[in-house]
Amino acid sequence: MTEIQPAIWKRFSKKQSLERYGIEFVLLLIFIWATQSVDIYWPFVTDAPAQAVDLLHRMTPPSVVFIKAIIPSMIETINIATLSTIFAVILSFPLAILNARNTTPHPIVQMVARVIIVTSRSVNELVWGLIFVVFFGPGVVAGVAALTMRSLGFMAKLVSESIEEIDHGQVEAMRATGANGAKVFIFGVLPQVMPIIIGTSIFRWDINIRQSSVIGLVGAGGIGILLTSSMNMFKWQNVSMILISIFVVVLAGEYVSATVRKKLT
């Protein structure tokens, strides 16, 4: 951003502008470092447009008959997304309770919960896929396990944050009736966080639809397996049909998720 600076009036003091130039200069240096040292084979870059046109050419027209193979695989993909979301919602709930500052039984338990959440969130679903394929062998089970693991931390983090933000007065009122901890929870806490749990679950389902189309690349079930095999056989017209189907399903999922969330909240 450049400011047009008249002679007398200056937007920033000398120190401020020095600071700004300093930051901009450092950012520029970082960028130059990144571009200079990155391991790019430049002939690839100059050749890129031609290659792109070539690939697009091989991909058209998309093979419409291949839809017969795509549909069952796509259903499997949606199943993976749905099941993993359900499992993640169920498992994340106790995790969220253990992690929330105001409901955790003990700081050490909270630490353990936090470690699980952080690990779950910072390991990509493809990596979880690689791990669970080792456990269960290739297939849907590994896919469901992978997406469950990834969604778990996401759900637990958001739900435990919402537990931490509840109105404490309602909890106090339930304690005053002589209810024990569990009953205070279902009356004083649960009704307050329920909208968040429902909203986040649907949102996560939407994300999982996207991700479940990918985990097949490491053998964890769904449409990704079909995509990999089509690519390995250089069936580019099948590939383009798969991509179109994924695009349609993702958009449909986003639409469903947005509509349901609007209806419920």
Partner 1 sequence: MFSVKNLDKTYPTGQHALKGCSLDIDNPQIVAIFGPSGAGKSTLIRCINRLVEPSSGEVFLDDLELTGLKGKDLHNARRQMGMIFQEYNLIERLTVMENVLSGRLGYVGFFNAMFRRFPQDAVDEAFSLLERVGLKGYHNQRADALSGGQRQRVGIVRALIQHPKILLVDEPTSGLDPKTAMIIMQLIKDLAIEKGIPAIINIHDVKLGQDYADRIIGMADGVIVFDGPPSKVTAETLTMIYGEEDWSKTIRKVEDEEE
Partner 2 sequence: MSDTGASTVWKRDHFIKNPILRWIVILVGSAYLIYAINDMNFNLDRMRTGWPRAVDFFQRMFPPDYSRWTMIYKGVFESLQMAIIATTVSIFLAIPLSLAAAANISVKFVYVIARAFIVLARSFPPILVAIMFVKAFGFGPFPGILTLSFTALGFMGKLLAEAIENIDKGQVEAVRATGANWFKVQLYGVAPQVLPRYVGLSIYLLDINLRASTIIGIVGAGGIGGALFNAFHRYEYDTALAILIAIIVIVLVMEFISSKVRSRLQ
Measured from the CB atom, is 4 or 108 closer to partner 2? 4
Residues 6+ apart with CB under 8 A from 248: none
**Any residues with CB less than 8 A from the CB of 121 and at least 6 apart, and which?**
150, 153, 154, 157
Alpha-carbon distance of 90 to 32, in angstroms, equals 48
Task: Indicate which single residue of 91, 95, 116, 130 sits in contact with partner 2 (rule: CB under 8 A).
Answer: 130
Helix (H/G/I), strand (E/B), else coil: 186: helix
- Radius of gyration (Cα) for the chain, nearest Å? 25
Alpha helices in 61-139 (DSSP H): 67-99, 107-122, 125-136
What does 198 bind: partner 2, partner 1, none (CB cut-off 5 to 8 Å by kind)?
Answer: none
Contact by Cβ (8 Å): 255, 166: no
In whole angstroms, the minimum distance from the beta carbon of 30 to partner 2 comes to 6
**Of partner 2, partner 1, none, which one does residue 175 interact with (CB within 5 to 8 Å by kind)?**
partner 1
Count of residues binding partner 1 (CB under 8 A)?
A: 22
Closest distance to partner 1 from the beta carbon of 264 (Å): 12
Find the binding residues for partner 2 in span 213-232 (CB under 8 A).
213-214, 217-218, 227, 231
**DSSP string over 238-256:** HHHHHHHHHHHHHHHHHHH
- Write each residue from 130 to 169 as x if it is in contact with partner 1 (CB under 8 A), else as -, in one continuous string: -------------------------------------x-x
Distance CA 66, CA 49 (A): 28
Enumerate residues 190-229 that contact partner 1 by CB under 8 A. 191-192, 194-195
**Among the listed residues 183, 233, 252, 259, the single contact to partner 1 using CB under 8 A:** 183
Considering the complex, state which of residue 7 and residue 176 has its C-beta at the smaller distance from partner 1. 176
Sign of CA pseudo-dihedral 128, 132, 133, 138 = negative
Kindly tell me which of 4 and 176 has the beta carbon lying closer to partner 1: 176
Residues near partner 1 (CB under 8 A) are 167, 169-170, 172-180, 182-184, 186-188, 191-192, 194-195
